[in-house]
Chain A
Amino acid sequence: MSTKTVELNIGDVGAKGADASAKVDSEKMALNVGPSHPTTHGVLRLMMDLDGDLITSCEPVLGYLHRGDEKIAENMTYNQFVPYTDRLDYLSPLANNVAYAIAVEKIAGIDLPERCEAIRVLVCEMARVSSHLLGMGVFGMDAGAWTPFMYTFTEREKLYTLFEELTGARFTTSYTRIGGVARDIPDGWLDRVTHFCDNLPKAIDEVEKLLTRNRIFIDRTEGIGEVSKEDAIAFGFTGPNLRASGVDLDLRKDKPYSGYEKYDFDVPIGTRGDCYDRYLVRIEEVRQSLRIIKQVIANFPDGLWYAEDARKIFAPPKDKILSSMEELIQNFMIVTEGPQIPEGEVYFEAENPKGALGFYVVSKGGGVPYRLKIRAPSFCNLSILEHMVPGHMLSDITVILGSLDFVMGECDR
C-alpha cells in the first residue's frame, strides 16, 4: 500500500487563516481561540478583537463537529436513531436517550408502566449528577483549581461503573427503546446506587470546601459573565444557566414528564446570573438529584419495564420470540420496518443537565421520521456569547466558557 505524502507550507495556510486581522484597525489585535483548545471544551472557535486585554468583539464559529444527525435520522428507523442520541450531549447519554424515546412515544400515544418511568427518572438523574460532576470539576480547572476535578472525576467514574452494569456500556449507553427500556435493572443494582448516593455528598462537600468560599475562585467568577433575566430569556437560555439568572423554569416541575410530579425536590435559583451563580446552581442541583434518586429507590414499583400493549412498536421478550410464531413475526416486522408510528407532529423538551433538549418529530406514518429536529440546549446557550463576552478580559474567557457548561457534540449535531 502506498502512502501519499504532501508537503504543506504551514506559513501559507496560517496567513490565509488569519484574514480576520485585515479588518481590525492597528490599535486592536485579532485573536483566534480554538477550534482545538482546552478552554473550548471541544471544538468551538472564537474569533475575537482585543484592545490590550479587553475583548471588544467575539464571534463564535461552530460546525467543526457537525455530523448531520438530522439528515441521518430521516434515513433510518426510530430505534436505529437511539445510538445517535448518545452522541448529542455525550456527557449525559442516558438523559438524551430518555428525551428522544419520550418524544416518539408521545406521537405514538404509548403509556408506560410505572416501573419503566421510574427507571427512566433514575437514569436521568444519575446522568445529571454525572454531567454536573464533570461540569463542576472542569469549571474549577478552568479557573485554575486542579484538585476538585480529581474528586469529581473519581465519583463520576463510580457512576460509570453503575451505568456499565445497567446498560453494558460506560459511555454510549443507548438504553431506551421506543416504548420502554432495553432491559430491566440487574439484581442488587439499586443497593449499589444507594451506596453511591450515600457517599457522594462527602465528595461534594470536599469540592465545596475547595471552591465555594475560595477567595481566588470567587474573584475569578463573581460578577463575570453576568446575564440578566431579560437577556437569558431573550437568547433562549435553558437549564441551570437560565436558573442562575433568576428565572424559575424547570421542566421537571413546570411540565412534568415520566412521573417527575411524584417526587419532591427543590429548584435552585441564582440571583446575579454570573459564573459563580451558575456554579452554585449546579452544586445544589446535584444534591437535589440525589434526593430524587433516593425517593425513586424507596418507592421502586414492580412490573414491566416496557409497554406491553405497544405491539407494533416494542419488540417482545426474547424467550417468547423463540417459542411463539406470533411474537417472532412481530419481532421481525419491528426489526425490518421499524416501530410503526402514526402520522402527526410532536415537540417534546426534557430538562437535561445542559438545558432543555427538544425533539421535534414529524411523522408521515411508518417506521422512519419525515423530519427530526433536535433543539440542542448548548446551541442556544452559546448564542449569547457574541452579546455577552465583549467588555470582559481575555482571561475571563476560560471561566465564562467553563461556567456555560456546553457540549459541542449536541451544539453541532
Chain B
Amino acid sequence: MIDQVFTDALLDRFDSSSFRHHEDCLTLDCNPSSIKDLLTHLRDEETFDLLVDLTAIDHGTNTENRFSVVIHLYSRIHRDYLRIHSPCSDNDSPEFPSLSELFPAANWHEREAFDMFGITFTEHPNLKRILMWDSYPHFPLRKDFPLAGIETPLPADDVAEVTQANVDPAPMMGGPFVSSGDGMMSESEPRAKDESWTEQAEKPK
C-alpha cells in the first residue's frame, strides 16, 4: 500500500528526491542524476513495472528550470500510479538521461518529448523526430511556438522546388476564442489566445 511508511522509506533511500503536494497519486521530485537509480528501485523492488507515460512540461521562457520531465508509473500490486517530476539541466539545450534501457516503453515517449520540446535524451538508441518530419526545424509544444505555426519549407525538396510551396501558418482569426478572465469585462472579452497573426499583427515569417 502506498502510505506514509512507503513514502518515508523511499525518500530515506533516495535523499535527492523529495515529496511534492499532490491530489491524485504520490508525486516525487527527483534529481535527473539519480532518476535511473530511483526508477530501477521502483521497478524491481516496489513493483512499479509499467511506465504508462513520459512527457515534458515547458514552464515558460522566464523560469529557472524551463523544462521538466514527468513520468507516470503504475503498479499492478499497489493498483496505483506514481508520478515523478524531474527538471532538465539546461534551458537552451535541455538534456535528460534516457530511460529506454530500463523501460522499452520510454523509447517512443522520449522521441515524442524530443520532437515536441527539443529535449535531448542522452544515450537514447534512436533519438529522432516521431510525429513531425525529420527536417522540421521547430519544437511545437514549447510555449514560445505560436499556435498558428511558423512558415517552414516543405519536407520534400523536389516537390518544393517545383511547386514553390511552403508549410504556411494557419489562419487564426477564426478562434478558438477564450476570455482572459481578469480585468474589465470590455478588456477580457473572448479573443484568440494566440494572436501571433491577426488583422493587426502581420502573418509571421
Give residues in A with beta carbon < 8 Å to B: 6-8, 12-13, 16, 62-63, 66, 68, 70-72, 74-77, 80, 106-107, 233-236, 238, 247-249, 254-255, 336-338, 340, 344-349, 356, 358, 360, 362, 366-368, 370-371, 373, 375, 379-380, 382-384, 387, 412-413
Contacts and interface: CB of A to CB of B under 8 A. Distances in A.
B178 A367 contact: yes
A413 B116 CA distance: 12
Interface stretch (B5-13, B28-36, B90-98, B101-109): B101-109
Contacts of A360: 53, 55, 70, 72
Nearest to B142: A71
Contacts of B158: 12-13, 16
Contacts of A77: 176, 178
B13 to A, nearest CB: 24
A13 B161 CA distance: 12
Interface in B153-205: 156-159, 162-163, 175-176, 178-179, 181, 188-190, 192-194
29 contacts: A6-B162, A13-B156, A16-B157, A16-B158, A62-B130, A62-B131, A71-B141, A71-B145, A72-B176, A74-B147, A75-B193, A76-B178, A77-B178, A80-B176, A236-B52, A238-B52, A337-B179, A338-B178, A346-B24, A347-B25, A347-B72, A347-B83, A349-B74, A349-B81, A358-B52, A370-B57, A373-B55, A380-B105, A387-B104
Contacts of B25: 347
B45 interface: no
A341 B132 CA distance: 31
Given A236-B50, A337-B190, A347-B24, 18 more contacts: A6-B163, A8-B162, A12-B158, A70-B141, A71-B141, A72-B176, A76-B178, A234-B49, A247-B76, A336-B189, A344-B23, A360-B70, A367-B179, A368-B193, A373-B55, A375-B55, A375-B72, A379-B112
Contacts of A235: 104-105
A366 B24 contact: no
Contact of A236 (B58, B105, B130): B105
Contacts of A383: 104-105, 107-108
A255 B24 CA distance: 12
B147 A72 contact: yes
A389 to B, nearest CB: 15
Contacts, number: 139
A368 B178 contact: yes
Interface of B: 22-25, 27, 49-53, 55, 57-58, 70, 72, 74, 76, 79-81, 83, 103-105, 107-108, 112, 116, 129-133, 140-141, 145, 147, 156-159, 162-163, 175-176, 178-179, 181, 188-190, 192-194
Given A347-B25, A367-B178, A367-B179, A362 B130 contact: no
Contacts of B133: 63
A16 B157 CA distance: 10
Contacts of A347: 24-25, 53, 72, 81, 83
A380 B76 contact: no
A366 B23 CA distance: 18
5 pairs of A and B residues whose beta carbons are closest in the complex: A236-B105, A76-B176, A63-B131, A383-B108, A336-B179
A394 B178 CA distance: 50
Nearest to B132: A63
Contact of A234 (B105, B108, B145, B176): B105
A366 B79 contact: no
A349 B52 contact: yes
Nearest to A106: B24
The interface centre, meaning the residue of B24, B25, B49, B116 with most chain A CB atoms within 10 A of its CB, is B24
Contact of A412 (B72, B107, B131, B179): B131
Given A362-B57, A367-B181, A371-B57, A255 B79 contact: yes
Contacts of A238: 52
Given A77-B178, A338-B178, A383-B107, A233 B57 contact: no
Given A62-B130, A66-B132, A75 B178 contact: yes
B178 A236 contact: no
Contacts of B49: 233-234
Nearest to A380: B105
Contacts of A247: 76
Contacts of A344: 23
B166 to A, nearest CB: 14
